[in-house]
Amino acid sequence: MSKLVVYAIGGNALDSPNNKEVTDSSLVLAKVMSDVVDLLEAGWNVVLTHGNGPQVGHLMSLDSSQSMDSWVAATQGMIGHSLSLNLDSILRKRNRPESTAVVLTRVEVDPEDEGFTFPTKPVGPILTDKQVMSEDWDIAQTVNGPRRVVASPLPKHIIDINVIRELSSKNAIVICSGGGGIPVVRSGPYLVGVPAVIDKDYVSSLLAVELNADALVVSTAIDSIRTDFGLASEKVHQKLTLQEIKIFESAGQFPKGSMGPKVSSMADFVNKLPNSKAVLCQPGDAIKALRGMRGTTITVA
């Protein structure tokens, strides 16, 4: 049977705002598509997830009256559609047998999650002084300036996992769980959307676990996991064990607003599926990263 990889594309990586080597988002997208084809040709089945931070923030700034779960659903559809069109065109040119499937994915969260009490997830652009004073939002000061923050509960279960699993078993390249999935809670026999944005990295890890994936690839704008970032003592890590990650996390090396969720979610995946592999790399380096030649690999020991 083919091996299965969950490939997580960062919303910021697609827009490439911080990657000095890649200034054109279309080039980043081309590298992502190249990764997918390389994985297919190496015998992997591929499930794609993606971020939506810049996109959902932009839409929310245009119309704050729409419910947040609806905007997450909208950006899932828009980004999934774009990825699907690009990938299908490449597959036809390469005479590949696979096709794509976009699944608007609902993710169950706990209504009592403390994330609803303490909103921490930045969304949207930097706010003006006028917006800070006039808007009825939760606002926090980030490294770049004041931004709106929303609830970010942990994911419990991917509602549409059986659909995703079935499509993947039919050799479809499934594009799903975009932007962390559409957050829902159970209310009796019903599912109800809630105003939150689930972290994409935690959902990608949960998806990989529920699919019993052989690998999780986190593709982002930075080439590897680093400690002492930005200091003279900065170190690039080609490999990290779970124990090393615990030590570095305790020392505050992986901030919650940047590398923290990526490292934590990758470690959780490896901890739950110790025979699988988790790697972080830049777009275009997926195969080399899985072979240990690029990026950072997280191992049990």
> Catalytic site residues?
11-12, 121, 200, 262
Q: Which residues contact 259 (CB under 8 A, 6 or more apart)?
A: 222, 225, 229
How far separated are the first and last CA of the chain, in Å rounded? 27
- Do 181 and 155 touch, CB atoms closer than 8 A? yes
How many other CB atoms sit within 10 Å of the CB of residue 275? Answer: 8
Pick from 158, 129, 149: nearest CA to 60: 149
**Chain centre distance of CA 245:** 20
Six token digits for residue 71: 């905007």
How many other CB atoms sit within 10 Å of the CB of residue 235? Answer: 12
Question: What are the beta bridge partners of residue 225?
Answer: 237
What would you report as the CA-atom Rg of the chain, rounded to the nearest whole angstrom? 19
Buried b (16+ CB within 10 A) or exposed e, 134-153: eeebebeeeeeebbbbbbbb
| Residue bearing tokens 């699944």 | 103
